[in-house]
Amino acid sequence: MQKKDNQTVIIIVHFGDRSFTIECVKSLEKEERPTIVVDNASDEKLRKLLSPYSWVTYTDPGKNLFYGGGMNWGMEKAASLYSPDYFFLLNNDTVVAPGTVQAMEKKMEEVRDAGIIGPPIYYEDGKTLWITGGTVDLRKGFPKYTATTKPGVRDFICGAAMMVREKAIKNVGGFDLDFGMYAEDVDLSLRFRSKGWESYFFHAGKVVHVGSASSGSQYGKLQSYYRWRNRLMIVFKNGNFLEKLSTLIWMGPVILRDTFLYLRSNKKKELSYCWAGLLGKKMP
């Protein structure tokens, strides 16, 4: 089968409430770009609901690959069907304003060392700015989202909405599947930087994010397992010796504090997930 030329392919990873995914797809109609929905939930009803949208290709990997694995699957699928210059990666609980893809493509063309570009991401009200990228302190293993409106280089771009250069993906590789969920976008940005590809925020379009619709609360089992575990992974993959040592020293009291908060909230089961992640054990 001959590949189709298309500057950008949009990729959405579905898990959770299918109504979010449908609304995200609807918002993309005027972008006039092929869209691939990776169904981590193997939701047959979602496949049927997506059938009227001619620009959408539905794909089911057969199991939950989490965010990074789903995006890697989607990018491989996109590369097999098209010859894209860019991938626009979206959480399923986002809504994209018309013209966003074109605005981001323009920035990609202008800034040749941009491996990743992020648009402004707003809270659900569509008026309050939420994220314009983030910073990473490798002495503490602590990624921090920012809402600074000044455009320019960021340490990382939020995976809820990021445009990735296909050439950079070929050069660096996709998301590290060891992360499972959380901070895989931070790791990707840092690995891109190590190969000369920067991450930028620009006022290019607009994305509205309705929240963590697929992952649960702060003290949920998944968040408990991955949150601190993946912060350590960020440092031990990307930091130097002193940064690793500093992180271990800094994290000790903070983890003890969190342990107390779990116990005070009667979250003993969830606490066991937290410590399993920290000790490098499999999820209980």
- What is 4-209's CATH number? 3.90.550.60
State pLDDT tens for residues 197-252. Answer: 999 999 999 999 986 544 556 678 888 888 889 989 999 999 999 999 999 999 88
User: What phi and psi values does residue 278 have, to the nearest 5 degrees?
Assistant: -60, -35
State pLDDT tens for residues 10-69. Answer: 999 998 889 999 999 999 999 989 999 999 999 999 999 999 999 999 999 999 999 999
Helix (H, G, I), strand (E, B) or coil at 39: strand
Delimit the domains of the chain by residue range.
Answer: 4-209, 221-278
Question: Most distant CA pair in the chain: distance in Å?
Answer: 60
Task: List, as one string, the DSSP characters of 104-119.
Answer: HHHHHHH-TTEEEEE-
Short-list 189, 220, 215, CA closest to 92: 215
Here the tokens at position 230 are 């993946």
8 Å CB contact between 25 and 94: no
Q: What count of other Cβ atoms lies within 10 Å of the Cβ of residue 152? A: 11
